Structure 1
Amino acid sequence: MQASEFNNLFDSVIKKYHLKDSVDQSFENPFNKNTLEHLLYRKCWIDTVQWHYEDIIRLPDINPEEALTLKRKIDASNQDRTNMVEYIDSYYFDKFKNITIEPQATINTESLAWAIDRLSILALKIYHMQEEANRASASEEHRANCQLKLDILLEQRVDLTTAIDELLNDISLGKKYMKVYKQMKMYNDDALNPMLYAKK
């Protein structure tokens, strides 16, 4: 897959979510679980639900108990997001495992999957900025400002899409090499978070 196909898939996930526009809706992945598409679809769905969690928790009159419950959901979603990034990196690590790496090959500043993660988030920004640029109830000034921001986001997507394609190509040719680094998050681990293991 090329990065432009990632964009198309992410856009389809976001549109699918907004048919019901509910964080509590059921999730169905249309792709075979052994495919890259399955991973990407799941990844963008997690991002989309979390986007709306983040909107909800900022309501000024939210019930504190509801906010705490939602914060726990956001924490769990962040962990799921990180896990999916690692699965995507592992997919590519396996895909390119037999590539002969050139002696002068270098490693990228971020992994391939974290770049794809940014592309998923950009798709969400573009969708929602487009909504604001077209919102009939907003002022003309608001819509114009949002259109300017949308234009920048679209330019960013072109640049990031190009950069990901170049990285994929460089890895396939052995000019770049991959490593999969586990994030090793500590705050969700009972054995590593001192606030949690002190309670045992």
Structure 2
Amino acid sequence: MNANFANELFRRSIQDYHLTDNVDAPIQNPYLDDEIASLLYQKNWIDTVQWHLEDIIRSPTISPNELVAIKRRIDQSNQDRTDTVELIDTYFDAQFCGITPKPTARMNSETPAWLLDRMSILQLKLYHFREQTERADVSEEHRQKTQQKLIVLHEQEQDLAQCFDELLEDIQNGDRYMKVYRQMKMYNDPTLNPVLYGQS
């Protein structure tokens, strides 16, 4: 497991989504359920669908009913994203459970899975900024601006990949350790959101 492995999976998911470019298209995960590859593919598919939902909801002609429906769908997508990140962290937790951190080991505030979350989103930015540089209906100035941003995104891709690989290496060597804090979201819980439990 390394950054290149993850980024290749993210890129495959994005390419697969754009075969239909339809937010309602069902996921066709090509990996077995018990493989980490399956979770990474699923994670990026969620991100990719949400990326396009975020575009749709900003349409100036969207009806109020559709806007509300998509907003609720985005809320659910955020929950699915968090749940999937936690499943990925569970995988890493199991991978590293036999490693005893050195007395000098430092805790890393960001877990491997949350770093993968950033890497997944970054692959979406790379894909869509690349699209902008290839548009025939825009000015040369537009293409140059998006090309400059694409250069920065590629640099960020390399930096995040290095950070991810170094984090895994450091945890493996006992130089750093991770702690998994499960998300404690309140707004989706009918027993914790006052608007929801106030209505019962």
* Fold agreement, TM-score > 0.5: yes
Q: TM-score, normalised by structure 2?
A: 0.99
Deviation at 1:109, TM superposition (A): 2.3
Counterpart CA distance in 2 for 1:5 and 1:139 is 36
How many angstroms apart in 2 are the aligned matches of 1:56 and 1:62? 8
Aligned partner of 2:22 in structure 1 is 22
Q: Does 1:174 align with 2:167?
A: no
SS at match of 1:43: helix
Matching residue's letter, 1:117: D
The ranges of structure 1 where at least 4 consecutive aligned residues each deviate by more than 2 angstroms after the TM superposition are none
Q: Counterparts of 1:95-174 in structure 2 under 5 Å? A: 95-174=95-174
**SS of structure 2 residue aligned to 1:20:** coil
Q: Cα distance, 1:12 vs. partner?
A: 0.7
Determine if contact 2:7/2:119 at 8 Å carries over to the other structure: yes
Q: TM-score, normalised by structure 1?
A: 0.99
1:179 is displaced (CA, Å) by: 1.2
1:196 correspondence with 2:193: no
Q: Does 2:39 align with 1:2?
A: no
Contact preservation (8 Å) 2:122, 2:157: yes
Structure 1: runs of 5+ lacking an equivalent: none
Secondary structure at 2:18 match in 1: helix
Q: What letter corresponds to residue 136 of structure 1 in structure 2?
A: A
Residue 27 (structure 1) shift: 1.1
Alignment partners' CA distance in 1, 2:44 and 2:164: 17
Of all paired residues, the percent bearing the same amino acid is 54
Please give the root-mean-square deviation of Cα atoms over the aligned residues, in Å. 0.6
Equivalent AA in structure 2 for residue 120 of structure 1? S
Is the 8 Å Cα contact of residues 109 and 178 (structure 2) preserved in structure 1?
no
- Per the TM alignment, residue 137 of structure 1 is displaced from its structure 2 partner at its CA by 0.7
Question: In structure 1, how many angstroms separate the alpha carbons of the residues matched to 2:116 and 2:53?
Answer: 21
